[in-house]
Structure 1
Amino acid sequence: MIYIKFQDLSEEKQEDLLQVSREHVTHLYGESIKKYVEETGADYENLIDEEMIKNLYTYNFVFNI
């Protein structure tokens, strides 16, 4: 679970959440994505970015108001 203060949804905080998600995706799926990129020639950064955004929807957020 990720705890967030409701008033702290600044652009900086959103970027922090995206960075956490990116690291999580890279750790979990990095090798399989690299293998897929080698086989298909797809863009690694675009695939990571897509998975990073999808991954955000799997998190449980708790907002403190």
Structure 2
Amino acid sequence: MVYLNYNNLDNETQQRLVSVSKKDVERKFGNDLKRYAKAHHLEYETLLEEEAIKNLYSYEYVFNI
């Protein structure tokens, strides 16, 4: 669960969430993504970024108002 302050949804907070999601995706699927990127001639960092953004939708958010 991700706890957010409703008054603080600025760019810095969004980048922190993407960074946390990247680490999560890399931990879970890093080797698979590297193989996929190599097999399909894709840049690994771009693929990781896309998957991290998709992963954000799987989190449960709690907003403190």
For the residues of structure 1 that align with 2:9 and 2:16, how far apart are their CA atoms?
10
Percent of aligned positions with the same letter in both sequences? Answer: 42
Number of aligned pairs?
A: 65
Give the root-mean-square deviation of aligned CA atoms.
Answer: 0.8
Q: How does 1:1-65 map to 2 (within 5 A)?
A: 1-65=1-65
TM-score (norm 2): 0.92
Deviation per CA, 1:2-51: give whole Å up to 9, x if none. Answer: 11110011111111111000110111111001111222211111110110
Q: Which residues of structure 1 form unaligned runs of 5+?
A: none
What amino acid maps onto 2:41 in structure 1? G
Q: Which residues of structure 2 form unaligned runs of 5+?
A: none
